[in-house]
Amino acid sequence: MKTYLKAIITCLFLIIVITCKTKEIIPIPPILDTITVSETTISSARFSSAITDVGNQYISDYGFVYSENNATPTLADSKISLGAISTANVVTLKFSEVIQGLKKSSNYYVRAYSTISSNTVFGPVTIFKTADLIQPSIKTDAVLLVFTTTAKLRGIVETKGTFDVSEYGICWSASNNLPTIGDSKSSKVGTLGVYPTIYSEDATNLIPNTNYYFRAFVVSNGVYSYGNTLTFKTLAITQPTIKTLEANTTTTTSVKIKGLVEFGGNSDNITEYGICWSQRFITPTVDHSKAKILENITVFPKTFVIDIYNLNSTADLYYRAYIISNGVISYGDIKKYNLEILDFPIITTGNATSITPNSQRIQGIIDSKGRFPITEYGICWNLINDYSNTLPITCKTGASIKGSPTSFPTTFSIDAINLNVGTIYFYRAYVISNGVITYGNEKSVFNTGSSK
């Protein structure tokens, strides 16, 4: 009986112990969702994921792990840590971060993670690729204009690329069939707001009659990109054409000569034109005597007139027009001319004699009257001898006699007054007939009385 009671008591005790024992909690790990990758650039991307069920354990850390080489990245690879989740929560926890410092054009493996006391739980692996670095698209488009030493060339920036454009232009070379900015270039600096952008540049300092290679180029993020290669050939130089026209006698020692620039050539670089002449050589050049006009000509044909002075009325005059372009002299045809002096008076400058320390008496001789009545005659004098520049002294300073002598030849005298003592003066006689001034030969004199 006692043994039976003990057994019953023992069973009751075990039942009580088992019934009073604490119910054991089964651990539930977090559940991580697949990662979505967005906003991908050449060096960054946005990772987005979620903990769809945080489980029933303390999460000490969560975030993203990623690797370029490890297909199942772990905490030993690169990671973005977002910290702890202090309270168990069955509600979905969404999270997102932008990762920087990635390599361009590279594949990456990424997955979410969460760390609990027993281990680290990972989500599914996602594979993505960073963006490629794209340069602007550039095209060498056309030759617009070609001259002897310049050309206008066109390019097109078709698309922008990854980074802004900082410079664009044209480069060219006569020897390099793949020209670069190390050869010759013309460019514009600055960003572009519209694509495609068509632009043109002037290639300068070119060699006439020469083949050139050229390419469009664009600079973005410090990188030069080039378009296709095209070619052009500069024009050969065509010199201006000039024609020698008629001469007309204006006095017994001067003529007026016309010339005609028919065509300006193709260089647009005329620097001088005029008339050259000689009474000694039958083929005059600019190394003999010349009267010049220093200017360019923009309208053709262009007629011009040159006055030539101090000629020998008894000698033949050989003359021709000339023009200088690109340093090259072009001549018109040579003409021969005899001064027509019969219609003009003939006058000779005489000697001077000193009458006071500040004056000279100067003689002139009118040898013949000419065809028209004489209205005035006298003497001109000056301190400066413009004759050295082919322009003789004129009557800025002088004295005259009105009317006409009655017989020829006739000698007259003029007093040159208010002269500086010990100073050389240049003088010559003149006569006016039919409104035309005819001058005699030029002489010099000291107002002290010494003459030559």
Query: Where are the domains positioned within the chain?
Result: 31-129, 137-233, 241-337, 346-446
More confident residue, 217 or 371: 217
Paired sense of beta strands 61-67 and 302-308, if any = unpaired
Q: Which of 7-16, 265-274, 369-378, 380-389 has the highest mean pLDDT?
A: 369-378
For the domain covering 31-129, report its CATH number. 2.60.40.10
Token pair, residue 409, equals 């030849």
- The pLDDT value recorded for residue 23 is 58
- The pLDDT value recorded for residue 415 is 94
The whole-number average pLDDT for the span 331-356 is 90
pLDDT band per the 50, 70, 90 thresholds, residue 431: very high
The pLDDT mean for the chain works out to 89
- The pLDDT value recorded for residue 47 is 96
pLDDT band per the 50, 70, 90 thresholds, residue 451: very low
What contacts 330, CB < 8 A, 6 or more positions away?
239, 240, 241, 242, 322, 323, 324
Same CATH topology for 137-233 and 346-446? yes
Paired sense of beta strands 197-203 and 184-189, if any = unpaired
- The pLDDT value recorded for residue 88 is 57
Q: Indicate if the pLDDT at residue 416 is higher than 80.
A: yes
269-278, 284-293, 418-427, range with the lowest pLDDT: 418-427
pLDDT band per the 50, 70, 90 thresholds, residue 57: confident
Token pair, residue 248, equals 């007309």
Length of the chain: 452
- The pLDDT value recorded for residue 4 is 61
Q: Which residue is associated with the tokens 């204009």?
A: 145
More confident residue, 410 or 436: 410
32-36, 90-94, 156-160, 191-195, range with the lowest pLDDT: 90-94
Q: Indicate if the pLDDT at residue 53 is higher than 80.
A: yes
Token pair, residue 255, equals 């003529």
* Cα radius of gyration (the chain): 52
- The pLDDT value recorded for residue 389 is 42
Q: Indicate if the pLDDT at residue 186 is higher than 80.
A: yes
Class at the top of the CATH hierarchy for domain 346-446:
mainly beta
Q: Indicate if the pLDDT at residue 21 is higher than 70.
A: no
Class at the top of the CATH hierarchy for domain 137-233:
mainly beta
Q: Indicate if the pLDDT at residue 307 is higher than 60.
A: yes
Task: Determine the 3-state secondary structure of 212 from DSSP.
Answer: strand
- The pLDDT value recorded for residue 439 is 87
The whole-number average pLDDT for the span 163-192 is 95
Phi, psi (rounded to 5 degrees) for 116: -115, 180
Q: Hey, what amino acid is at 430?
A: Y
- The pLDDT value recorded for residue 436 is 85
Paired sense of beta strands 36-38 and 78-81, if any = unpaired
Query: Does domain 241-337 fall into CATH 2.60.40.2060?
Result: yes
Q: Which of 118-122, 241-245, 448-452 has the highest mean pLDDT?
A: 241-245
- The pLDDT value recorded for residue 3 is 61
Q: How far apart are CA 85 and CA 93, in angstroms?
A: 10
- The pLDDT value recorded for residue 351 is 94
Q: Indicate if the pLDDT at residue 259 is higher than 80.
A: yes
The whole-number average pLDDT for the span 221-231 is 95
Q: How far apart are CA 348 and CA 225, in angstroms?
A: 81
Q: Which residue is associated with the tokens 């320390």?
A: 357
The whole-number average pLDDT for the span 303-332 is 94
- The pLDDT value recorded for residue 225 is 95
- The pLDDT value recorded for residue 344 is 85
- Nearest partner of 417 among 376, 358, 373, 372, judged by Cα: 358
% of residues, the chain, pLDDT over 70 = 89
- The pLDDT value recorded for residue 343 is 80
| Per-residue pLDDT tens over the stretch 375-406 | 999 999 987 654 444 445 566 789 999 999 99
DSSP 380: E
The whole-number average pLDDT for the span 438-449 is 80
Q: How far apart are CA 328 and CA 320, in angstroms?
A: 16
- Helices then strands, each counted (H, E), the chain: 1, 32
- The pLDDT value recorded for residue 56 is 82
